[in-house]
Amino acid sequence: MKSALDVARYFLCRVDREAGDTISPLKLQKLVYYAQAWSLVFRGQPLFFQDIEAWVSCPIVRDVWDEYKAYKYTDISAPDNFEGEFEEDEIEVLEEVWNA
């Protein structure tokens, strides 16, 4: 099973920065949350093992928060490398969330 940080890095790699697209920590948290929810609904199993906390601003995964909290309200830069390998059904869920 992947971690929530793997899921977050996947989404960070999907951002088309050359086209001017950006992603904030808040948006990233929401994408990670939806990916977990959609995986539970469509696959019947979680994508990652971390708990999701209910915060006032949005659902938060503490590991993702800790990793990207320094960005505050600014755009997160692209990860240096991404070595996460997802199964085909996991990628389908991630892509559906990204496209939605």
C-alpha 75/C-alpha 55 separation (Å) is 20
Which pLDDT tens digit goes with each residue over 13-46? 998 888 888 999 999 999 999 999 999 999 999 9
C-alpha 8/C-alpha 79 separation (Å) is 10
Would strands 53-54 and 59-60 be described as parallel, antiparallel, or unpaired?
Answer: antiparallel
For 36: left if phi > 0, alpha if psi spans -120 to 50, otherwise beta; the answer is: alpha
User: pTM for the full model?
Assistant: 0.92
The full length of the chain comes to 100
Which pLDDT tens digit goes with each residue over 47-63? 999 999 999 988 999 99
| Radius of gyration over every alpha carbon of the chain, rounded to an integer in angstroms | 13
